[in-house]
Each structure stands twice: as structure tokens, then as C-alpha cells.
Structure 1
Amino acid sequence: MAQTQQGIYIGRQITINGTNVNYWYGIPYAEQPIGNLRWMPPRILATSNGTKEAYIPNACLQEFDFGIQRTEACLTLNVYAPENATNLPVFVWRHGGVTVTINYRQGLFGFLADEELYGERSGMDNRKTTGNYGILDQIVALDWIKKNIAGFGGNPEQITVGGESGGGISITILLASSLVSKGTFQRAIVQSGSMWPHIMDTLQEAINNTGNALRSITNCITVQCLRNLTGDQILTAQHIIASKRFMGIPAVPVIDGYVVDDILENYYARGNFQKVPILIGSTANETTSNTYRMFGDKVNSTQVEEFLKTLYNAIIIDEIPTIYGPISAFHNPFTYLNIIYTDAWVHCGARRIATRFSNYGLPTYLYTYNHLVSAAPSWAGVTHGVELPMLFPTILSYYYRNYTFTTSDQQLSSKQETNQALKVYRQALVDLGEL
């Protein structure tokens, strides 16, 4: 049982490798964003009493089906803790010690920007905001964890936030946003989340790309009409919008003047970020899975050069051969494309963030994950997300069906077996704040 400001939650227990682990699923951390609370900042729960069971997980409404109930009433979190846990370090993970995983609104449900919604002034102190509901969910979730995690055996003064891909991007925003109080968390882990060229739209871009697009598809004139749409109608529209967006991403966080009011790079350049220890990095070949969907692995030199021209200005295009050599020197233009694109899309951002933290004398750790799983397609290399089964082996089957770890895979996945495992570094940062 765990005591919280909303009463007592009764969880369950499972034994993993001889260790008893308590878990609680589906604990609400905010009022549910349904009805007229759709596309509103999350509302903090009132204090209450009572005893509730917490063993049924859910997921926020999305296109992918992982066998878990999907619903808009999804502002919940899951907690895992060793039996008899007391004052242990806490790790908060986005899609050792006490681990918390949180659900937050995604896609159009979490990142739709709309002119009329912006005019509702739904932020604190009657401030305007739109498009960052998923980020605001995470801020409220962290506040709930800070206030309640002691009831699960966690230390509220030793919280590490971490995430990969979109979750990692969220961490870079939370580190910069003035809405996150100092001391909310003490450490940060960013995996493949430093995608500065693409991670945020300006307010008007976001309104055009999401709010106006949804209105056009659904023939809705008012926000009330949008709020009356079914979840499935929004998912259908989201699929259409995603098909026309870069990398198939329907919506991204927004520079709305509330969560953030400038591009993230400027926040970090000015030193406007939470001064905490950080572990940040990416995989060696981040972009191959995306470029393969666009071109296949047999892309030719002309296609590569034309694609790069759509991303970068003439000055950068002229510098690329000087830095990387001519494309003719590469046997496969696909390789050339992804070396450049991975650097620009992720590696450079990670290095810049790490440099900013290091300049303030903060414990700063920069990594590149380069373990290649034998089941991976030959074109993929160490692509985006492939480190996750090593950190969370239970999801291995989602990545490689009917595949089992080789000896080298097992050594990398097991924190007891190798000092090079990313798991070791993450655990050390969570426990100690340093490696």
C-alpha cells in the first residue's frame, strides 16, 4: 500500500530474478482531459481520502495498439519499487531504485495548436497557451511525483528524469522551461532527444499545421465542434496530417510564449536551464530508419544531394564536401546521407547541450551507443531506438520477433557484466548523480 495526497493505493507484487517488486498501475496524477477539458492544461487533483486498487494500466489514445487499453482518460502513472523500499532514488521514465513511468497526451491530443484555443487564455495567470498540452501533463506529473513518491519508498530529493526520442525531447524542454520549478528533479537523461532542427514549431506554423488542418479535415468551425469529435475521428485526421508532414510526425511541441518563448538552442546558449547532472547521447546511425522509409537503401547521389538542399542553406551545402568528403568516395550514397543527417539531426545537438552543461561545471556525460544486434537489417546499422531492448529486455519481441539475446547482447544488457553498458551509466547517475 502507498499513501498519497489522494488516498491509499493498493498495488501488486511480482518476483523478478528472485527479487520481489511492488507495482502500482494507472494512478491518476491530474483530472482527466475529456469533454471540455480536451486541449486544456491539466488540472491538479484535489486532496482526497479513501483506498483504491491500482493494478490496471492504460495508454493514451494513439494509432499503435500494444495490447493495453487506450483512452483519452490517460493521465496516469505507474510505479515500481523493491519490496520494503525506503528513501530510494527515483527514476521517472518517458515512453534499481523506484521507477515511475508516466502517460501524457500525444499526437494531436497533446500538441494541437489552434488560434481559438490560444485565445482562451487557459494558462496560469490568464496567460495564453496552446499546443503543448503533452508537456504540461509531464510538468504536473513531476509535481505529483515530488509530493507523493515518498509513500512508495522513493526519495523526493533524488529524482532523475529520463526519456528517449520524443521523451528525450521532452526532457530538453523541461530543462529549459520556466514553468518547471527548481528542485523538481535532480538529474536528467536524454536519449536521442536533441533534435534541434525539427523539434519545435513557431506558434503560427503549429496553428497552420495542426489546428487549421484539423478544422479543414473535419469541417469544424469552432473549438466546441473540435471537442465534440470522437477520439477515432481525431486519429483518422491525425493520420492524414502525418502523411503530409516531415518524417510523418503529425504534431510537435510549440514555441507558444508560455512553456517556452524561444528556440531551445538559445535557452542553452544563454544558460537558461536547470543546472543538474546530465547523461545525453544517441545511437550511431540515428536516421537510417527514417531515410530508409523515404528512399530505401539504394538511394542515388542525385537524390541525396537534392534532399540535403531541402534541409540546409547554400552555405552549409557548400561546406558538406569539405567536412565529410565527396559523395563519390562512398560506395553507397545511403551511408553518406546518414552520416551527415545523423550528425545534423542528433549528434550535434547532443554535443552542444553537453558543452553548455559542462561549461557550468556540472557532471556531464556524452555517449554514442554503437552495439549492433545481429537481427538488425543490414541497412539499419545502430538506428534510432535500438538501445531500448537492452535497457528494457521485456520489449525485445516488439523490435525483433523470435529473437533471443546473443552472449554479447546479454553482456551489454546486464549491468553486472560490463562497465560499458548504458544501463550501468544510467543507474550510476540515478543513484549517485555522477559516474
Structure 2
Amino acid sequence: MLRNTLPILCGLASVSTAALYETVVETKYGAVQGYPAFNSSNTGNLTNWKDITVWKGIPFAATTGGSNRWKAPQPASAWNGTLDARNWGNVCPSATTGNNDYTIDEDCLNLNIWSPASSADAKLPVVMWSYPAESTAADPLFDGGGMADQGIVFVNYNYRTGPFGWLAHSELSAEFEAVTGSNSSGNWGMLDQFAALKWIHANIEAFGGDPNHITVQGQSAGSAATQHILYSDLTKGLIVGAIIESGVRDPHDPLCTSLAEAYTTLEDALEDGNTYLSNLGVSSIAEARELSMEALINGATGTTREDTIMFEAVLDYYAMPDTYLNILEKGLAHDVPVITGNNKDENGATYGLELSLAEYLQDLNETYSGEWVDRFLELYPANDSTTAAGAYNSMFTDRSKVGTWFWTQLWYEHKSSRVWNYFWDHAPPGQTSGAYHESEINYVLNNLYATDLPWTAEDYAIAKKMNDYWASFIKTGNPNTLSKGATEWPAVGTAQEVQHVGDGWGQIPIAWSKKVELFKEWFATLVAY
């Protein structure tokens, strides 16, 4: 919404006399008006909530519809007057499960900013948050007020997913080559992520942020986005750190092909693109660009899972410079500090799992082969359904912790920046899935106020500790530097240990040494990803 006059912000002067919501911010594209992020003291752990300004729905690129569909994000148009940043922007199609509070539209490349700055001269550290799959930047789980309370400018954004974000096709590759020189296509969503980062670098100073001090952070599919930013030549010099939650693992682990960081070869992506156009009933990209959003979503869905096209990142050697293993072994990533880790009940491990002994043995035989079945069964034994469920969960939890530690050792072969590994095991209240995938997000962002779980004093205390670690890292590149009374968190070294966070604090073994060695030997027999 654009307007030529500013509203009278009644009563706000008594709340704060220096917050940026009292003025108009000038970006390179036009003026923008923000608003108080909070209107009451019901803000959990926050102490500086009166000073936090939020701007919603600021476009960082042009619409991705029409002729811009399946193109790299195009520059946003400048606007006249003042952009009223009161409401969330549109949500990208297939990025959400369909919450009626959001407008779904291909004109969706917009971002939201929370800043505690009192002027554009503040030069505060900045963090860019990338959300997980089937979500949006407007989700309360990703509210940035808790991080802004720590003196940090927090930015989240929307990006294309599904067929809108990852379609490859020979016609698109030809178009892309004419612009970039790279005969490839498919990573439109990844290029959206890069474009958001570049917009932040170019404009965040006006919101009190330091464009030369940007940390990228994300969880699950958002951790894949963060990982790709860390790895890509196209983002060189733009970041000072990366926080990859539920993300990295040993590139030899077959889970790399099925979890959030999964990617496909360009050859396979092009084949899927041909199948997709056939499903749509069209023979050219020009015809596909004339179809509705709904038709494009339906075209990806088959009658069975095997028939469904799983759109994902593409190894194009442009946005994504190489395989994960080669990126590490060739030292292609940006040399910046990293936080990365895993949750107890995710990526194979399931709280309250019901599994028979027969099902456990069947899974072992499907996952491993030959001597490996007996070797894993020896270290993860079971003799009934109870022990089978425990062994199964233990095996997958260890696999995540060990794989992340192995990734870190590969990182150290060519990088001097430190890495901190964590293992989260606190189960939020009011649910029965344990320390599930995404369960750490409320705590690291310290935004328990934004969601409606029955939080306890313990939850607020844990959130304060977690947020202190994360905020310290964003500010200094070390989670310990500014943490207040927190347990020391050593960077990963040669010791096979990980930082326990949540229901306990401090270093614990990643797994029994015999199990670590077993995973190492098994991974060595597999094709790297």
C-alpha cells in the first residue's frame, strides 16, 4: 500500500521517542513507514520491546508471474510516495498449506524487518532468516522481535518453492544461458534467496543495520538455503557467519538425497521438466507461462508418490558450484564461522515410536546390506518391540550427530573459521512429539510470545539461554562471547563431542566410539553426494 501522507501515530511518543517507527525510512527504491512491533508488555523475556520497529511486505524483487515465471528474480520497481509496511506481503504459491490469513500470489518476493535501532547510523548486526518447507515469512514461529530485543536487525523473506522455484527445462536453460552464460536452469528459489541477501546488503543500513555484518540462519529447507548461501560464488563477501539448524551431514550419508538439503542433477531435473510440461498438457514454456497457479501446482502431483515430481535444488554448477563433498574437499565455501546441529526427535528418530521387532529387522535389511546388517544390529540390538523402537531411534539420532561432526571435520580441512555443533533435546509443552523437527525455533529466536503453547518458566529460561548463544554468535562470530552466565560451548575440535542444549548444558559424546567408527566405515563404502 502506498500513500503520500503519514499517519499520526497517536500516543507513541510516550512509548519511545527514538524508535524508527516515528520516522520514514528511505531505501534505494523509495520511502517506507514502519510500525511498533509490540503494543503491550506481553512479550515474554523481552526488555527493549518498546523500541522495536517492524516493516512488513517490502518488495525485494519484481513479480515472478507472467513473463517473469521461471526466471531469476528481476529488480523491484521504485515507488512514489511512502510504502505503508503495516501488513504482511503476498505468500508464494506452494510455499504454504493455505492459511486464509495470507494472500497467495506470484508477486510474492517480499521481506519483513524487525529493528531496535533509533537511527540509520546504528550499524547493528543483521541476521537473515530462511524458513522451512511449506511455510511463509509471516508465520508467527519466525517472528523477529525476540532477536531484535538483543540489539540485532532481523530479516525474513518469502521465496519460490515447488514447481515455481525449481523447474528445469531445456528452453529455460537456453534463456538463462543468454543472460548468464550458464546453460542451466532450475534454481529459481535459490536465486530468490540470494536476491534477498543482496537487497539486505544494499538497503539494511537505512534500518539501522550494518550491511557488512550479515549472518544467515535457517532451519530444515531454510538450513538448505543457508548452506547454499554459504557455498555459492554468487554470495561471496556478503556474509560473516551461518547458522544451519537441522541441516548438514556427512556427504556420504544417503539421507542427503531425501532430506531438506537434497538436490538433483541437471540431467534428471531436465527430464522431470519434460514430464511436468506433459502433465500440464503443454509443449512449451511459453504455454506453461499462460497457465494458472493452481494448474502448475496440480501438474506436479501424481496419483502415487512415485508419480509425484519432487522439485528440489539442482546441481547447476552456477548457483550451486559443485557437489557437497567437492565443495568441502575443494574449499569452495566462504570461510566464516558456523553453528549447526540437530534435534533429538527428527530425521528418522520419532518420539513415542511404535515398531515391532520384525519391522526393525526389515528396516535394517533395507537400509544396509551384507555384513553391515549384523554389525549395526550388534551395536543397536533389540529383542522385542520396546527395544526395537529404542534401537531404531538411537541409531538415527546417532547418525545425525555423527554425520554433522564428520561434516565439520571435512570443513576444517580447508577452512580456519570455527564450527559449533549442538544437540537439542527439550520437548516444548502441550504436544506429544518430543524434541521434534522445528522445536528449537521458538527458543533460539526467543519469541515464545508469538505462539500459543502452554509455556512454563522453564521454557522461558531455556529460551533466554539459547537466544543468548545465537545472539552472541550473530554479533561476534562466537556463541560464548556475550552469553550471560551460559555454560561454555567449545568449538568442535578433535574430541568426538557435541554441545547438549535444552534439557541439559555442556559437552557430551556424539556417540559411543565404536558406533562412530561403524558409521565412518559404512559411509566410506557409499557414493558421496
TM range, smaller chain: 0.7 to 0.9
**DSSP-derived class of the 1:368 partner:** strand
Contact 1:76 1:103 in 2 (8 A): yes
Between Structure 1 and Structure 2, how many residues are aligned?
Answer: 412
- Structure 2 residue 124 is matched with structure 1 residue 64: no
Letter in structure 1 aligned against 2:314: V
Map Cα deviations across residues 265-295 of structure 1 (whole Å, 9 max, x no partner): 2211322111111111110121357x79xxx
| Map of 1:205 onto structure 2 | 268
| Map of 1:405 onto structure 2 | 455
Going from structure 1 to structure 2, the CA distance change for 1:169 and 1:127 (only over 3 Å counts) comes to same
| Structure-2 separation of matches of 1:350 and 1:49 | 49
| Map of 2:238 onto structure 1 | 184
| Residue 6 (structure 1) shift | 0.6
Alignment of 1:3-42 (within 5 A): 3-15=26-38, 17=41, 18-42=49-73
| Structure-1 separation of matches of 2:178 and 2:340 | 31
Give the counterpart of 2:130 among 73, 87, 94.
94
| Residue 365 (structure 1) shift | 0.9
Contact 2:64 2:107 in 1 (8 A): yes
- Structure 2 residue 368 is matched with structure 1 residue 368: no
| Structure-2 separation of matches of 1:40 and 1:121 | 8
After superposing the two structures, state which structure 1 stretch, 297-306 or 35-44, moved more. 297-306
Alignment of 1:19-418 (within 5 A): 19-45=50-76, 50-57=81-88, 58-62=90-94, 63-66=96-99, 67-85=101-119, 86-95=122-131, 96=150, 97-122=152-177, 124-181=179-236, 183-194=237-248, 196=251, 197-198=256-257, 199-208=262-271, 210-240=272-302, 243-244=305-306, 250-288=310-348, 297-312=353-368, 314=370, 316-322=372-378, 324-328=379-383, 331-344=386-399, 346-359=400-413, 360-377=415-432, 380-390=433-443, 391=445, 392-397=447-452, 403-413=453-463, 415=464
| Map of 2:469 onto structure 1 | 425
| Residue 236 (structure 1) shift | 2.3
| Structure-2 separation of matches of 1:123 and 1:311 | 44
| Residue 119 (structure 1) shift | 3.1
| Residue 133 (structure 1) shift | 0.7
Contact 1:2 1:8 in 2 (8 A): yes
| Structure-2 separation of matches of 1:75 and 1:271 | 32
Going from structure 1 to structure 2, the CA distance change for 1:186 and 1:381 (only over 3 Å counts) comes to same
Going from structure 1 to structure 2, the CA distance change for 1:242 and 1:387 (only over 3 Å counts) comes to farther
Going from structure 1 to structure 2, the CA distance change for 1:283 and 1:224 (only over 3 Å counts) comes to same
| Structure-2 separation of matches of 1:312 and 1:141 | 41
| Residue 205 (structure 1) shift | 2.6
Structure with bigger helix share is 1
Letter in structure 1 aligned against 2:113: V
**DSSP-derived class of the 1:93 partner:** strand
| Structure-2 separation of matches of 1:315 and 1:124 | 52
Contact 2:36 2:50 in 1 (8 A): no
| Residue 121 (structure 1) shift | 2.8
Contact 2:117 2:207 in 1 (8 A): no
Letter in structure 2 aligned against 1:91: V
**DSSP-derived class of the 1:120 partner:** helix
| Structure-2 separation of matches of 1:242 and 1:21 | 48
**DSSP-derived class of the 1:168 partner:** helix
**DSSP-derived class of the 1:276 partner:** coil
Contact 1:189 1:280 in 2 (8 A): yes
| Structure-1 separation of matches of 2:431 and 2:448 | 16
After superposing the two structures, state which structure 1 stretch, 194-203 or 327-336, moved more. 327-336
Going from structure 1 to structure 2, the CA distance change for 1:383 and 1:123 (only over 3 Å counts) comes to farther
Unaligned runs of 5+ in 1: 398-402, 416-420
TM-score calculated relative to the size of structure 1: 0.86
Going from structure 1 to structure 2, the CA distance change for 1:112 and 1:317 (only over 3 Å counts) comes to farther
**DSSP-derived class of the 1:89 partner:** strand
**DSSP-derived class of the 1:150 partner:** helix
| Residue 145 (structure 1) shift | 0.6
Percent identity for Structure 1 against Structure 2: 27
**DSSP-derived class of the 2:287 partner:** helix
Contact 2:430 2:454 in 1 (8 A): no
Contact 1:288 1:381 in 2 (8 A): no
| Structure-2 separation of matches of 1:184 and 1:6 | 20
Going from structure 1 to structure 2, the CA distance change for 1:270 and 1:319 (only over 3 Å counts) comes to farther
**DSSP-derived class of the 1:327 partner:** coil
Going from structure 1 to structure 2, the CA distance change for 1:12 and 1:321 (only over 3 Å counts) comes to same
| Residue 107 (structure 1) shift | 1.6
Going from structure 1 to structure 2, the CA distance change for 1:43 and 1:35 (only over 3 Å counts) comes to same
RMSD: 2.7
| Map of 1:418 onto structure 2 | none
| Residue 327 (structure 1) shift | 3.5
Going from structure 1 to structure 2, the CA distance change for 1:138 and 1:220 (only over 3 Å counts) comes to same
